Amino acid sequence: MNGTMDEASALQRNYKEVLDRIAAACRAADRPPGSVSLLAVSKTFGADRVAALAAAGQRSFGENYVQEAVAKITALRNERPDLRLEWHFIGPIQSNKTRLIAEHFDWVQSIDRERIAERLSEQRAADRPPLQVCVQVNVSGEASKSGCAPADVIALARRIVSLPRLVLRGVMAIPEPSEDVAIQRGQAARVRGVFDDLRAAGLAVDTISNGMSADIESAIAEGSTMVRVGTALFGRRARVDD
Ligand SMILES: *Cc1c(COP(=O)(O)O)cnc(C)c1O
């Protein structure tokens, strides 16, 4: 980002560009505008950046790190209750972090095993709406450690449906990054295939969370209903592990 450029206007310009990319990808795929929602991934960026994007009209934000997210969510709830933000947890989940996640988030997209689903359901407060959740599926095989194997998704999904404080919404995937559009499309098609399997098994799912800054178009071409975008909105992250 150009150091002299006003940060708020850069963010607004990026936001418009991302919304335009989503709209163009929907047109190219003959899908209705509005059939794909945008999750703004704000990990490593401060509450001020979230508030600035919310001022431009964005409501849903994704976070990967529990401690960082809880501080941000709490600050924004206290200082800007008017914003009514929706928070999605999209990072790896350790068992000892499920309580904080259940307390602070609206959605959890990265459930990859039953134990995590069970704890989240147990720990979700009775006076909050149920957690909206996705099963994270690994469509990249050995290349990726995170996510449930495609063959195990239906069993995990059925377990989630049996839990009182969770609502199963669909699947989430983080395919191995590739600049090759054919590879991007192939992986996105596998995510769609897992979603179709859930529907065929009689599960009422409506969400395919797939596509990030580099592969928004491929993901939408293959049926994604939610893209999770960080870099294209907020710029490059300072931390390299993200
Ligand atoms: C960081 C992250 C994103 C956003 O990636 P960008 O390439 O910055 O758009 C999306 N999903 C998950 C799970 C992430 O960890």
Mutational pocket test of ligand 1: of 22, 44, 90, the residue with most ligand atoms within 8 Å of the beta carbon: 90
Q: Nearest to residue 76, comparing CAs of 47, 49, 105?
A: 47
Three-state DSSP class for 153? helix
> What is the tens place of the pLDDT at every residue in 134-155?
999 999 987 777 899 999 999 9
Arithmetic mean of pLDDT, 115-120: 98
pLDDT of residue 5: 57
Residue nearest to atom 10 of ligand 1 (CA): 228
Arithmetic mean of pLDDT, 73-91: 96
pLDDT of residue 6: 80
53: pLDDT strictly greater than 80: yes
How much is the pTM? 0.96
CA 99–ligand 1 middle distance (angstroms): 23
Arithmetic mean of pLDDT, 150-163: 98
Q: Would the CB of 213 count as within 6 Å of ligand 1?
A: yes
pLDDT of residue 239: 67
Quote the CA–CA distance of 203 and 225 in Å, as a whole number.
17
pLDDT of residue 2: 44
Q: Would the CB of 175 count as within 6 Å of ligand 1?
A: no
Q: Would the CB of 212 count as within 6 Å of ligand 1?
A: yes
Q: Please, which residues have CB within 8 angstroms of residue 130's CB and are 6 or more apart in sequence?
A: 124, 164, 165, 166, 167
Quote the CA–CA distance of 71 and 33 in Å, as a whole number.
34
User: What φ, ψ does residue 126 adopt, rounded to 5°?
Assistant: -65, -25
Quote the CA–CA distance of 91 and 30 in Å, as a whole number.
31
> What's 89-101 look like in SS3?
ECCCCCHHHHHHH
Average pLDDT, the chain: 95
Arithmetic mean of pLDDT, 111-126: 98
For residue 226, list its beta bridge partners: 37, 209
Residue nearest to atom 12 of ligand 1 (CA): 90
Of 14-18, 115-119, 143-147, the poorest mean pLDDT is in: 143-147
Atom of ligand 1 nearest to the CA of 174: 13
CA 210–ligand 1 middle distance (angstroms): 10
CA 212–ligand 1 middle distance (angstroms): 6
Query: What stretch of H or E contains 76?
Result: helix 66-79
Give the rounded percent of residues in the chain with a pLDDT score beyond 70. Answer: 96
Three-state DSSP class for 179? coil
CA 125–ligand 1 middle distance (angstroms): 28
> What is the tens place of the pLDDT at every residue in 171-184?
999 999 999 999 99
> What is the tens place of the pLDDT at every residue in 191-241?
999 999 999 999 999 999 999 999 999 999 999 999 999 999 999 998 655
CA 236–ligand 1 middle distance (angstroms): 11
Residue listed under structure tokens 């409506």: 206
Residue nearest to atom 13 of ligand 1 (CA): 90
